[in-house]
Structure 1
Amino acid sequence: MTQPSIILSDVNARQSVFHRRAFLLGGGIAAGIAALGGRLGYLQLVENARYAKLSTSNQFNFRLVPPPRGLITDRNGAILATNRPNFRLLYARQKDQDPETVISTLAAYVPMDEARQQRILKDLGNAPRNTPVAIMEDITWEQFSAVSIRGTELPGVTADMGEVRVYPHGGAFAHVIGYVAKVNKEDITETGPNAESIMLHPGFRIGRQGLEKALDLELRGRPGAQKVEVDARGRQVRLAPGGDVPATPGKEVQLSLDMDLQLRGLELFGEESGAAVLMDCRSGDILAMVSAPSFDANRFVRGLSAAEYKALAEYDHKPLFNKALTATYPPGSTFKTLVAVAALEAGFSADMTINCPGHWNFGGRRWRCDAVHGATNMHDAIATSCDTYFYTISLKLGPDRIADTARRFGLGQAFDIGIPGQKKGLIPDTAYKRRAFPRDPVWHPGETPSFGIGQGYTLVTALQQCVAA
């Protein structure tokens, strides 16, 4: 009779254990559900704004937009450098994609020879992945349309419209204004304005010469941004409405140059080589600065081929050389007026005469004059450019007095006109002779007569000659 009670006691014990375990398990599940619910509520209610922002950033991105470069005008407001719309092709190298195949396919729709294709592939190799590289600028509407409708055949290739720098007067202002060109690796720095991400944009250009280089930061402006929708790999899917940040155009720069005078100056030179500078002597404004022959700066913006650049560089008239600022020449007889000023300051009378029989004997040799001028005073010596007079007067003055006067008239120095690359030329004196010729540091008397007629060591620029005049 005791057996049933033993069985019931065992069953009750097992049920008690089961109930305790079920209660603990149920409590754990309830706690987990409560924690999960609390976390979900926290994420949805408290962190909603944060995760919404992260979600949006995964869906949308901002594409940098280069700012319009600042205009450059002449003294009367005539435009010397501006911008115009430009259809172009861009290609962003992507993962698991053969760029050679894409470029080869693209060449069927736009003209690209083998050399150009290799150059593009080299640019792609140097650019970060997903960073677009400019394949071609100034494409036609037909080419633009042909590429746009074949997007599936050309993954990573986009045809869009940007702006390109244009110089309406071609080469007339090329040496003064300079030109812009693509950014090189050497242009990018770790800090400062050249560290900005806009430098990597295929449509961005940097000043290379002249005022475009000297005033590059003012002319750049500030980049904007265009909101685009992207896929999981960061590739652009379509433009997103709203949210664009407008770019700030660069500063407009007005020059003292006169467009009509500049064009007329270049016209007068024709095919000849030389330089001319015209200045308003009342204000010091430079009205014209011509270097001939010149070159078309627009060709540099588009990009020159190696053959085109070689032809310009090897042309004997040196069109790439700014002869107004960087070429130095012996001033010749124009220097005689400064020798006359030095003589007057030294106390020589303008009425003092020197006989010119057509030559001058000194140092055991005969120095020739271009004519027989007879008894010549300072006024007549300047009017007839008498070498004999200035041979004699310069020997009496000595090189240091002449050099001091020449420097006070602007020779032998550079001027702050905003254009880099000026040469100072050379106005020699006895100190120069000691520095430049340590084996023969003495200024010999026979070196002075040549100095007195603007020859010998003397070298000046066209700008210095204009300032002196």
Structure 2
Amino acid sequence: MSSEPQLFFTDVNERQALFLRRTVIFGGATLAGVGLLVGRLAQLQLFQAQQYATLSTRNQFNFRLVPPPRGLIKDRHGVTIAGNRPSFRVLVVRDETKDLDQTLDLLGRLLPDTLERRRTIIREVNAAPRFSPVPIKSDLTWEEFSKVNLHAADLPGVMADMNEARYYPHGGAYAHVVGYVAKVSDNDVKGMRERGEEIPSILYNPGYRIGRVGLEKALDEPLRGEAGGNRVEVDVRGRVVAEDMAGSKPAVQGSEVVLTLDNDVQQRALEVFGEEAGSIVVMDVRNGDILAMVSSPSFDPNLFVSGVPSRIYRALADYERRPLTDKALAGTFAPGSTFKPVVGLAAMKRGLDPTRRIVCNGSFYLGRRFACLGRHGALDLRGAIKASC
């Protein structure tokens, strides 16, 4: 009986000691945790505040490149040969959409034709620089443009805007001499690197176009202009909430180019050919100005601005009259009668009497037989050129 109180007292002491030990351990751990938390907060608030404020500002504002309007090309009388037109388009920003596949699914319900280009769209979006809008479809109708804007809240990272697209108001009349613009390809960038040229950042913009052939290519740099940029404020989900006008920079349009070509002469020269193949170059003999340079048959360069479908390009490339070939510069033709005055002038320089008459019997033998258009009889130099003898 006497041992029971002693055992009970000892058990209580052990429990109190155990409790005190645990209290000290947990209390010490708590104090250490609070100390670490206070130390970390002090480090963030006092010593690294400026650094994180800068990072926060960078996350809050994005700077987006704005392609400049391309310079105009006009004829000698100020008629616009290559200009720009307004175009509605829809774009996707990769860094502002959490699920690109889901976004494209929703967009496909509004614009069904984007489903056919889904793989190409995904490849272009993934290859684009950060926060760079990638055009998904251009030349939207007003109904399509309104539909996308109506559902913009349900499409994070998708926006619809209006830009300026290259436009050739005279269709195929200047397709060869002026050329057309197209997307920047990997080969374009590679070629610039090989030539040691500095690659402008605007060329990495997925919607940018450069001159591909003709004067658009030859005068590409002055026609490009100077890129601008919009500094926009975004929320935590990456959506644009405001534009910082003070931090934005307007784009500068490219230089205007005035040619010696005359639109009336150019159009008339194209009409003369009709469906026939060939070329015409009209020169002002007083000063050497080129008034017209036509290659026929031609093609519509507007097809190439947004990307010509492969079936249409193949039809143009396979057509026997070669509409894609600039016959005025790249075609090879027998000079025919136009070269005869040159031969006559050379003969007169060597002492030929232009009044001397030579009998034409229908052919002439010089190593082989050269046939004439008929039997012209006796002709002097003027008569021979007139009769094409």
Deviation at 1:95, TM superposition (A): 8.8
CA distance in 2, matches of 1:181, 1:301: 5
* Match in the other structure for 2:185: 184
Give deviations 1:20-60, integer Å, cap 9, x for gaps.
Answer: xxxxxxxxx9xx99xx79x94x989xxx7x98666533321
Query: Greater strand percent: which structure?
Result: 2
Deviation at 1:173, TM superposition (A): 1.0
Deviation at 1:272, TM superposition (A): 1.6
Matched, 1:134 2:135: yes
* Match in the other structure for 2:292: 288
Give deviations 1:126-179, integer Å, cap 9, x for gaps.
Answer: 334543321100112221222223234323222122111111111111111111
Deviation at 1:113, TM superposition (A): 5.9
* Match in the other structure for 2:378: 375
The alignment partner of 1:242 has SS state of strand
CA gap of 1:295–1:194, structure 2 versus 1, over 3 A, is farther
CA distance in 2, matches of 1:147, 1:305: 25
Deviation at 1:98, TM superposition (A): 4.6
Give deviations 1:246-291, integer Å, cap 9, x for gaps.
Answer: 1111000001111111111112222221111111110111111111
* Match in the other structure for 2:171: 170
Name the amino acid aligned to 1:70: G
CA gap of 1:254–1:165, structure 2 versus 1, over 3 A, is same
CA gap of 1:367–1:284, structure 2 versus 1, over 3 A, is closer
* Match in the other structure for 1:216: 220
* Match in the other structure for 1:359: 363
**Which of 321, 324, 330 pairs up with 1:320?**
324
CA distance in 2, matches of 1:192, 1:223: 22
**Structure of higher RCO (CA pairs closer than 8 Å, 6+ residues apart):** 2
Name the amino acid aligned to 1:269: F
Give deviations 1:80-113, integer Å, cap 9, x for gaps.
Answer: 1111221111112349955343323212111316
TM-score (norm 2): 0.80
Q: Contact between 1:165 and 1:180, CA under 8 Å: does it hold in 2? A: yes
Tell me the C-alpha RMSD between the 2 structures.
2.8
CA gap of 1:192–1:156, structure 2 versus 1, over 3 A, is farther
TM-score (norm 1): 0.67
* Match in the other structure for 1:86: 87
CA distance in 1, matches of 2:289, 2:254: 24
CA distance in 1, matches of 2:151, 2:197: 38
CA distance in 2, matches of 1:228, 1:361: 81
Name the amino acid aligned to 2:163: G
* Match in the other structure for 1:461: none
Matched, 1:57 2:58: yes
* Match in the other structure for 1:153: 154
CA gap of 1:369–1:303, structure 2 versus 1, over 3 A, is same
Deviation at 1:232, TM superposition (A): 5.3
Which segments of structure 1 move beyond 6 Å, counting only runs of 4 or more? Answer: none
- Point out where structure 2 has 5 or more consecutive residues left out of the alignment: 1-34
CA gap of 1:247–1:294, structure 2 versus 1, over 3 A, is same
Superposed counterparts of 1:67-466, under 5 Å: 67-94=68-95, 97-112=98-113, 114-128=115-129, 130-188=131-189, 189-190=192-193, 195-231=199-235, 235-243=238-246, 244-363=248-367, 366-386=369-389
Q: Contact between 2:62 and 2:233, CA under 8 Å: does it hold in 1? A: yes
CA gap of 1:210–1:361, structure 2 versus 1, over 3 A, is closer
CA distance in 2, matches of 1:261, 1:239: 51
The alignment partner of 1:267 has SS state of helix
Q: Contact between 2:60 and 2:233, CA under 8 Å: does it hold in 1? A: yes
CA gap of 1:58–1:91, structure 2 versus 1, over 3 A, is closer
Name the amino acid aligned to 2:123: K
Name the amino acid aligned to 2:384: A
CA distance in 2, matches of 1:269, 1:334: 18
CA distance in 1, matches of 2:358, 2:198: 63
Deviation at 1:219, TM superposition (A): 0.4
CA distance in 2, matches of 1:71, 1:124: 30
The alignment partner of 1:85 has SS state of strand
Name the amino acid aligned to 1:91: V
% identical equivalent positions: 50
CA gap of 1:325–1:311, structure 2 versus 1, over 3 A, is same
Deviation at 1:238, TM superposition (A): 2.2
Q: Contact between 1:72 and 1:80, CA under 8 Å: does it hold in 2? A: yes
Deviation at 1:114, TM superposition (A): 4.7
CA distance in 1, matches of 2:188, 2:376: 60
Give deviations 1:52-79, integer Å, cap 9, x for gaps.
Answer: 6665333212111111111111100111
CA gap of 1:193–1:54, structure 2 versus 1, over 3 A, is farther
CA gap of 1:155–1:194, structure 2 versus 1, over 3 A, is farther
Name the amino acid aligned to 1:240: E
CA gap of 1:318–1:370, structure 2 versus 1, over 3 A, is same
Q: Contact between 1:162 and 1:203, CA under 8 Å: does it hold in 2? A: no
Name the amino acid aligned to 1:225: G
CA gap of 1:362–1:324, structure 2 versus 1, over 3 A, is closer
CA distance in 1, matches of 2:84, 2:365: 64
Q: Contact between 1:163 and 1:203, CA under 8 Å: does it hold in 2? A: no
Q: Contact between 2:96 and 2:157, CA under 8 Å: does it hold in 1? A: no
CA distance in 2, matches of 1:67, 1:131: 15
